């Protein structure tokens, strides 16, 4: 073999090895998996806990139902929707089966709570009990 043959054989091996690596990556995380790591989950969860605490306080500390800061409660419910949505698969599924299985029913609960809180006059019953929907998923983790 000439030196140039050696070189092209070596090049072929390198190209194969690189291709093989990207194939393995594809098998591990194909396009329909959204990779969500622990710190992303715990970060969003802590912000959700803050939003729930804030809206519960707004409802509890108002002297009467018609004095609740409606915009603040609705805003916190929208924050919850955005944070929970950030933990959902873009398509297919995520790397966390518990989130996949239970996040959409949590989002349904939050959407309903928001719709009722947005009504005139507002109804804060579901908003005030949204922590129960957090617990519904936490039972499975």
CA atoms within 13 A on the CB side of 6: 3
Does residue 73 touch ligand HEC according to CB under 6 A? no
Does residue 134 touch ligand HEC according to CB under 6 A? yes
Q: Pick the closer one to ligand HEC by CB: 23 or 50.
A: 50
Three-state DSSP class for residue 109: helix
From residue 81 to residue 110, the character string flagging contacts with ligand HEC as x (rule: CB under 6 A) and all else as - is: -----------------xx--xx--x----
Residue 134 parent element (H or E): helix 131-138
Q: Pick the closer one to ligand HEC by CB: 36 or 68.
A: 36
Q: Pick the closer one to ligand HEC by CB: 23 or 108.
A: 108
Residue 102 parent element (H or E): helix 97-118
CB 77 within 8 A of CB 117: yes
């Amino acid at each position: 073999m000439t030196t140039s043959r050696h070189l092209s054989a070596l090049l072929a091996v390198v190209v194969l090895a690189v291709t093989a690596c990207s194939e393995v990556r594809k098998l591990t995380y194909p396009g329909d998996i959204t990779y969500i790591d622990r710190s992303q989950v715990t970060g969003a969860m802590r912000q959700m806990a803050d939003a729930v605490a804030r809206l519960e306080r707004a409802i509890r500390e108002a002297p009467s139902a018609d004095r609740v800061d409606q915009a603040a409660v609705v805003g916190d419910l929208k924050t919850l929707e955005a944070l929970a949505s950030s933990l959902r698969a873009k398509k297919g599924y995520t790397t966390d089966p518990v989130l996949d299985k239970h996040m959409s029913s949590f989002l349904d609960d939050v959407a309903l709570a928001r719709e009722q809180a947005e009504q005139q006059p507002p109804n804060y019953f579901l908003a005030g009990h949204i922590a129960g929907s957090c617990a519904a998923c936490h039972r499975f983790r």
